[in-house]
Amino acid sequence: MEALLDINWRLFAIVTLNGLTLASLYFIVASGFSLIFGLMRVVNMAHGSLYLLGAYIGFEVSEATGSWLLGIAAAAVVVGAAGAALQVSILSWMQGQDLRQALATIGVSIVAADLMLAQWGGSAYQITLPGAVSSFVPVPVAGRYAMARLMLIGFALVIGIGLWLMLNRTRVGMLIRAGVDDRRMLEALGVNVPLVFVGVFAIGAGLAGVAGVIGGSVLSVSPGEDARYLLSSLIVVIVGGMGSIPGAAIGALLVAMAETYGLAYTPTYGIVYTFAIMVAVLAVRPQGLLGRAA
């Protein structure tokens, strides 16, 4: 009996850490998604494709150069540019038409998925982590835990705090917040709003790209991941509140915890919990936990 209790606590600690690390990954992907939505009201259905593209680029670059950090940087830059291009070439033509933009991005995601399948094939890749983080660290109760996964939590904290500082403490952040509140007034004040839009799109897409490399290192990259992370981002922001970065953090935590505890303790119903949370939030607080009423 004593041994049983002992094992259960260890498992519980590990599962909790797993939930936290998965939440970190979900947060990084969803924060970009939420940022774009918050300012432009664009539901970017190609966000998952940007994640997958980032992962593949990170794989190619880190394979070629042997440097994982270069892979992250390349993914952030290239995917950020791809996001900006998406905004300039397609979405800017239908600014303000939410539904049309959502449909256009679905189209983009389908084309992108096929192009990436043609280029990288159907098999799964894994991005090699630097030796320094592919080790274990002793953790109380859990025994030991993979450094790479703990690093994920650190990444999410850095990105979360960075985003918060940028939005609340810088001029760019002020512009973005002003744009969220009153786009026309901002334009009247002489700010080049379309340029701000492109910039925000690039940041949001770049975050997806970075998340792709991290996800591709800790987990793996294969076709179909695009739809998976788009779905998780959607659920996270629906739960947390569209356009809110702290909301994305809370949403990611709830969704990832439900998923991991579900898989560990009741494997059959893991997916049900996620949607149950979404349904509950929609029923009680349709704008999301930290979302503002439209």
Question: Strands (DSSP E) along the chain, which ranges?
Answer: 136-139, 143-146
Q: Rounded to the nearest whole angstrom, what is the least distance from the CB of residue 88 to other proteins in the complex?
A: 30
Q: Rounded to the nearest whole angstrom, what is the least distance from the CB of residue 106 to other proteins in the complex?
A: 15
- The position carrying tokens 């999301």 is 288
With respect to other proteins, which residue has the nearer C-beta, 93 or 136?
136
Q: Rounded to the nearest whole angstrom, what is the least distance from the CB of residue 127 to other proteins in the complex?
A: 8
Q: Which residues sit opposite 289 in a β-bridge?
A: none
Q: Rounded to the nearest whole angstrom, what is the least distance from the CB of residue 172 to other proteins in the complex?
A: 34
Q: Rounded to the nearest whole angstrom, what is the least distance from the CB of residue 52 to other proteins in the complex?
A: 12
* Inter-residue contact 38 to 243 (CB < 8 Å): yes
With respect to other proteins, which residue has the nearer C-beta, 93 or 269?
269
With respect to other proteins, which residue has the nearer C-beta, 42 or 148?
148
With respect to other proteins, which residue has the nearer C-beta, 122 or 140?
122
Burial class from Cβ neighbours inside 10 Å (0-12, 13-18, 19+) for residue 138 reads exposed
Q: Rounded to the nearest whole angstrom, what is the least distance from the CB of residue 126 to other proteins in the complex?
A: 3
With respect to other proteins, which residue has the nearer C-beta, 167 or 264?
264
Q: Which residues would be at the binding site for other proteins (CB under 8 A)?
A: 10-11, 14-15, 18, 21-22, 117, 121-128, 134, 136, 146, 148-149, 219-220, 222-225, 228, 259-260, 263-264, 267-268, 270-271
Per residue, what are the HEC states of 233-255? HHHHHHHHCCCCHHHHHHHHHHH
Residue 183 CA, distance from chain mean position: 26
Q: Rounded to the nearest whole angstrom, what is the least distance from the CB of residue 13 to other proteins in the complex?
A: 9
With respect to other proteins, which residue has the nearer C-beta, 12 or 164?
12
With respect to other proteins, which residue has the nearer C-beta, 203 or 226?
226
With respect to other proteins, which residue has the nearer C-beta, 39 or 146?
146
Q: Rounded to the nearest whole angstrom, what is the least distance from the CB of residue 4 to other proteins in the complex?
A: 13
